[in-house]
Amino acid sequence: MAEVILEKWQQAVSTVNIGATRADGGSRSHVVKVGGESTLPFLFSEGSLPNRPVIAFELCDIVPADWPQELASAYGAGFGDPLSWAQKCVKEYQAKILCLRLQGAHPDFGNKSAEEEAGLISALLKKVDVPLIILGCGDDAKDNLVLPAVCQAAKGERCLIGEAVQDNYKTLVASVLADGHNIIAQSPIDINIAKQLNILISDMGLALEKIVINPTIGALGYGLEYAYSIMERSRLAALAGDKTMACPFIAYVGQEAWRAKEARAEAGQGIIWEMLTATALIQAGADILVMRHPLAVEKANNYIEELMRTNGV
């Protein structure tokens, strides 16, 4: 019988803790831990996977302009009201973590003020007790006003805040440092930029263990295979000893999958597109998957459960 050659890795991925319980000085019911792998995805014979991939339900502070009716109908009357929407995700769909996108702060989508968005975060923290991922609107100038106020409103709750990019990271890093949060570092499918941005962020005093990488993924049929290869190469570098790359991954699966024209071609197709994109990225090493349709989330969670059970975990 041929001998099975097992890889021996030098380093593990950092573990990032999202959410702070009362014991930690926050008000969350639990902490979500991501990362910590000492091997490539699900190769349990070569290392450990102490924290399984986690799925975050995505919601917006306004009725999102680009969500089709198939998605809207999954959330019923609460769709577009972030507080009701969040409660439905937690109570009905058992969400363990939520991802709120502050799209309404964008100058083209309502131009909500920093004070309005900070007030929303304060209200949301009272309505639900799960950890939060909070994303800006994508306009750098506006995010530099809104995200510091949001960080202050959620001070001590150890949220995951995003996103820092190479040309606009200093304001967000300073706010995250001041208020005790984690940060998302976005790089455009480029290992060198991801590495450089992590170095720049850590040079400002934020520990690498507080960074989650957004490698910028594509959906099934829209660049998924290239995103997969970049994530795999990044993880190999991390396990081989590059500490600046040893951070968990976040992937915006729902956003990318529902952009595909095939996802809108007929009823049910988008759910399949989102689910298949998610399962591929789980195998690529995604630690946090931000998803939209509850049925796609259910199927992806079942897939994760089966992978863990098959390996005796």
CATH code, domain with 170: 3.20.20.20
Residue 3 lies in a domain: no
- Report how many domains make up the chain: 1
Q: Does 89 reside within a domain? A: yes
d(CA 164, CA 202): 12
Q: Is residue 38 part of a domain?
A: no
Residue 35 is inside which H or E element, if any?
strand 32-35
Determine contact, residues 176/133, Cβ cutoff 8 Å: no
Q: How far apart are CA 125 and CA 128, in angstroms?
A: 6
- What sign for the dihedral angle of Cα 201, 53, 100, 25? negative
Residue 33 maps to a domain: no
Which residues constitute the domain of residue 287?
43-307
Identify whether the C-beta of residue 302 lies closer than 8 Å to the C-beta of residue 265.
no
Per-residue pLDDT of the chain (313 residues; tens, 9 = 90+): 667 788 889 899 999 999 999 999 999 999 999 999 999 999 999 999 999 999 999 999 999 988 999 999 999 988 989 999 999 999 999 999 999 999 999 999 999 999 999 999 999 999 999 999 999 999 999 999 999 999 999 999 999 999 999 999 999 999 999 999 999 999 998 999 999 999 999 999 999 999 999 999 999 888 999 999 999 999 999 999 999 999 999 999 999 999 999 998 888 899 999 999 999 999 999 999 999 999 999 999 999 999 998 765 5
Whether pTM exceeds 0.85: yes
Classify residue 106: in a domain, yes or no: yes
The reply to whether 63 falls in a domain is yes
Q: How far apart are CA 164 and CA 173, in angstroms?
A: 8
From 304, 264, 281, 119, select the one nearest 214 (Cα to Cα): 281
205, 216, 196: which is closest to 175 by C-alpha?
Answer: 205
DSSP 38: S
**Phi/psi of residue 312, each to 5°?**
75, 25
Beta bridge partners of 160: 133, 182
**Rounded Cα–Cα distance for residues 219 and 275 (Å):** 10
DSSP letter (8 states) at residue 165? B
